[in-house]
Amino acid sequence: EQAHAPAKATATAGLIGLVTRIWPAVAVALAGAWACSAATWTDPDVPQSWRGVDWQMGASLGREAGLQRQRDLIATVQKAAGDGVAYIVLPESALGFWTPTVERLWTRALAGSPVTVVAGASVVGADGYDNVLVAVSAGGGRVLYRERMPVPGSMWQPWWGDSKGARADFFANPVVVLNGYKVAPLICYELLVAWPLLQSMSHDPDVVVAVGNGWWTANTSIVAIQRASARAFARLFAKPLVISFNT
């Protein structure tokens, strides 16, 4: 970790320099550093006790709320669990609406298992909803993270006062604590915007968890860009990375 401190300091200084009068020179220097880094690129490590699960469920994920769908998801988690796996990460919106009933179902299904599931869900309130990550295990479940930057327009709609859209918690929970781990959670659009990533990295997380639900981006490179962004920042700051996407 100490060996990467100069690189982190340089990267931070460079990003700050981009908003000063000398930004053209800074941009050229950063481009040169990027080219050098690309020539020797290696993917960031995935922690041995963590496993990200990718799905190809399309638009149905998070919308089919029946008991059978939840049982199918539970079966997928049980299949992914293996020796040494303590945390399984599922994509954005994986569990649909997070309710006491869904929590009880998953808690009972994980009884006797050491696994904690980190999964996307939605929490609905009177004035809108939160796009969240929940953590659930045999001991119970809780909302772990509330998305700081939902997609403007389709989710976050501050210009429509009664839209009941997604709430934005801009500066809240840049890192969350899960069983002693400092986790930097990032959901979908946050992987395309620099400041949520930088805000999380400034808190020196132990692991980065990046999730998305990209079925609607079919025939585009958006999901590939999101994955590349997560890998680039994790590599830059020398952080282990877990990714989970639905397409």
Q: What is the pLDDT of residues 11-50, one digit of tens each?
A: 555 555 555 666 677 666 656 655 555 455 556 667 789 9
Higher pLDDT, residue 41 or 154: 154
Distance of CA 46 to the CA centre of its chain: 14
Q: What is the pTM of this model?
A: 0.79
| Kind and range of the H or E run holding 31 | helix 23-39
Q: Distance between CA atoms of 196 and 160, rounded to whole angstroms?
A: 24
**Tens digits of per-residue pLDDT, 70-117?**
999 999 999 998 878 999 999 999 999 999 999 999 999 999 999 999
Distance, CA of 243 to CA of 86 (rounded, Å): 15
In 3D space, the residue among 79, 84, 106 whose CA is nearest the CA of residue 94 turns out to be: 106
Q: What is the CATH number of domain 44-246?
A: 3.60.110.10
- Label residue 162 left, alpha or beta by phi (over 0 means left) and psi (-120 to 50 means alpha): alpha
23 CB-near residues (< 8 Å, 6+ apart): 17
Closest CA to 121 of 112, 113, 130: 130
Does the pLDDT at position 166 exceed 80?
no
Domain boundaries, the chain: 1-41, 44-246
